[in-house]
Structure 1
Amino acid sequence: MTVRALAAFVVFWLALAAPLAACTRPALQPGPTINPVNIDQTRLARAILAEVNYHRCRVQLRELSYAGDALTQSSQAHSVWMAQRKKLSHTGRGASGRKMTDRVRTARLTPRTASENIAYLPLFQFGRNSFRVVDRNACHFLDAAGDRIPSHSYATLAREVVTMWIDSPGHRRNILDRDVTAMSTGAAVSQSRACGDVWVTQIFVG
């Protein structure tokens, strides 16, 4: 390979790497843990939006904007329905309607396209690691190193749930959809043997 060809090769790969280098993932800075009876829905929605936009940036897609509090509240209503029944489903009988299209309509939006991701995960930061129960009634859990496991902050919950979706082809397709322009998310917590599960509804519109 000549010097000129080598230089062209290096420039080519630097050009490819530049967009990835510009994608900054939200930092997992210490912050308030999620209060299960009083979730700051807008704060969580924006934390999840930041994680979503990081993944969109990595494949050179435009950022999504926040779709507004009305869609966040509509999403939350479906999450409340799922949490009350401990049932993961895109259809339900919550305050915002039976189907995803009802939830969008409840928010008074008329998009050309819309899609929905749902999930549930523990309120505490267990991840995929083993842990030991010290006192279930006090929600006292220890990780393998003997450190106490905290409940999720807004940033850690956003990171974990978006990672779950990105690892699932169908959910990933919704996150990386070129036709959507905005997103909102709502959540609710149900009681469980592990001191709570968070149920999440994410709606994209475009």
Structure 2
Amino acid sequence: MTRFSTVAFVVTTTIAAISNVPIATGFQLGSSGRVMWEDNCDYADNNYRSVPGIPDVCGDVCADDSTCTHWAWNSYNGGTCWLKTGTPSTKKTTWGVNCGAQNGLSALTIDYRLMASAQLHSQDQANQCQMSHAGSNGSKMVDRIKAQNYNYNVAAENVAAGQTSVESVMTSWWNSPGHRANILNKDVVNAGFALANNNGCSNYATYWTQDFGREA
């Protein structure tokens, strides 16, 4: 899957305080944002393959298998991923089982120019103790990536403050429709991620930036 729209989604409150009911409880880091999963759910039928493993690997296996559209995990034989095909409309609540579905997008490529842009902006936010898409010098996201010699055709940015782990910030972004649209936008192919800390801030100590793009 890819991730995002050409318009940055501006947050006015910390993503840690998003009021939406969470739709997922985890983020598959190894799949570059291609998959999410939930606890205590399962899909009926459509099993075509099983793979031994822990829940965290099921999404990666599914994302790398062109037949797989969704999956479930249970403790059978010490842990088994059940790969499925078809529509995930058969989802049901099942305690002790994890399940997830992918969005059919390719993995993003880490671009170190976007990483540099994201890091500078996270540090700027931390220095100012303020979460914002605007830099303290008035810069916009597109100004910052151009300054890193990334000549974009499509670009977008997610920012957040207050989360203490990659999983928690990714889950917060995923649970916010605008940020999730950025993550899943099919028109971007590169990404850069960054975190800066400032324990001297009275509001949030962590400041996250996620930049996406496609070069012209």
* TM-score bin, normalised by smaller chain: 0.5 to 0.7
- Alignment match, 1:204: 212
String of CA shifts for 1:155-176, please: whole Å, max 9, x gaps.
xx22111101000010000000
String of CA shifts for 1:49-103, please: whole Å, max 9, x gaps.
xxxxxx9x711111111112x3212211111111111111111125xx7110111
For 1:10 and 1:21, the matched residues in 2 are separated by 11
For 1:185 and 1:166, the matched residues in 2 are separated by 15
- Normalised by the length of structure 2, the TM-score is 0.52
Corresponding letter in the other structure for 1:76: Q
Structure richer in helix, relative to its length: 1
For 2:200 and 2:191, the matched residues in 1 are separated by 29
- Alignment match, 2:136: 93
Corresponding letter in the other structure for 2:133: H
Residue 149 of structure 2 is aligned to residue 111 of structure 1: no
Corresponding letter in the other structure for 2:169: V
Residue 66 of structure 2 is aligned to residue 58 of structure 1: no
Contact 2:114 2:212 in 1 (8 A): no
Greater Rg, structure 1 or structure 2? 1
Residue 69 of structure 2 is aligned to residue 19 of structure 1: yes
Residue 207 of structure 2 is aligned to residue 163 of structure 1: no
Residue 88 of structure 2 is aligned to residue 80 of structure 1: no
Gaps of 5+ in 2: 1-43, 50-65, 73-99
Gaps of 5+ in 1: 1-8, 23-54, 124-156
- Of residues 181, 188, 195, the one that matches 2:189 is 181
- Normalised by the length of structure 1, the TM-score is 0.54
For 2:135 and 2:177, the matched residues in 1 are separated by 24
Structure richer in strand, relative to its length: 2
For 1:196 and 1:121, the matched residues in 2 are separated by 5
**Percent of aligned pairs with the same amino acid:** 30
String of CA shifts for 1:134-191, please: whole Å, max 9, x gaps.
xxxxxxxxxxxxxxxxxxxxxxx22111101000010000000000001001221011
For 2:173 and 2:199, the matched residues in 1 are separated by 23
Residue 194 of structure 2 is aligned to residue 190 of structure 1: no
Corresponding letter in the other structure for 1:77: L
> How many residue pairs end up in the alignment?
128
* 1:192 positional shift: 5.0
How large is the Cα RMSD of the aligned pairs? 3.1
Contact 2:161 2:204 in 1 (8 A): no
| Dislocated runs of 4+, deviation >4 Å | 13-17, 192-196
Corresponding letter in the other structure for 2:162: L
Matched residue SS, 2:136: coil
